[in-house]
Chain A
Amino acid sequence: EVHLLESGGGLVQPGGSLRLSCVGSEFTFSTYAMSWVRQAPGKGPEWVSVISYNGGTTYYADSVKGRFTISRDNSRNMVYLQMNSLRAEDTAIYYCAKDHATVVTGYYFDYWGQGTVVTVSS
């Protein structure tokens, strides 16, 4: 069974930084694009970023562009989200999610992690 496990969330002050990690198992990690999707309290999901299977292509939501950076290490089955200049509105559960099919980047997501909580507050 595919498994995704996020880590790295926590409480951070406005303007601070945080790095989220996600490890994947039980699938060929290096052949799938991976996304980060967040969900603020009481709100619907918001797609944040995607990285292609080989790391060569990345996309970002306008709300995080220039502040967040997605990366991956296929040798370790890991995807990361470096979050800088954090704002109160970045407070959310952050999920990593696997693309449904290979050869596509950021289509729709058939497996999600359990999420890691990021709280931005002074």
Chain B
Amino acid sequence: DTAVSQTPKYLVTQMGNDKSIKCEQNLGHDTMYWYKQDSKKFLKIMFSYNNKELIINETVPNRFSPKSPDKAHLNLHINSLELGDSAVYFCASSQVPGGLQETQYFGPGTRLLVL
């Protein structure tokens, strides 16, 4: 019944490794997002896809690459992990942006720790 789910919930890895985080939503939404919440608790948008098409690509290192195989899934792949990548990554979804009602629904977050 979970609306937006993320796996894994926790991820501890060594610097230099490549890792992926998966996100799935069963709300039938057209738009999905990835956010990063740093140690100071600020949430910043990284990417957004609408119907598998990239619509937001913030200033994020090329090591981060989103992939949307279908509109219910948005995965985040990170190459050559660095210490500064340690954060909580949240996936979210909403109806088509620009609508008058576009509440975003968030997943539980993936806590990434790079050692």
On whether the two chains bind one another, the answer is: no
Chain B residues at the A interface, C-beta cutoff of 8 Å: none
Chain A residues at the B interface, C-beta cutoff of 8 Å: none
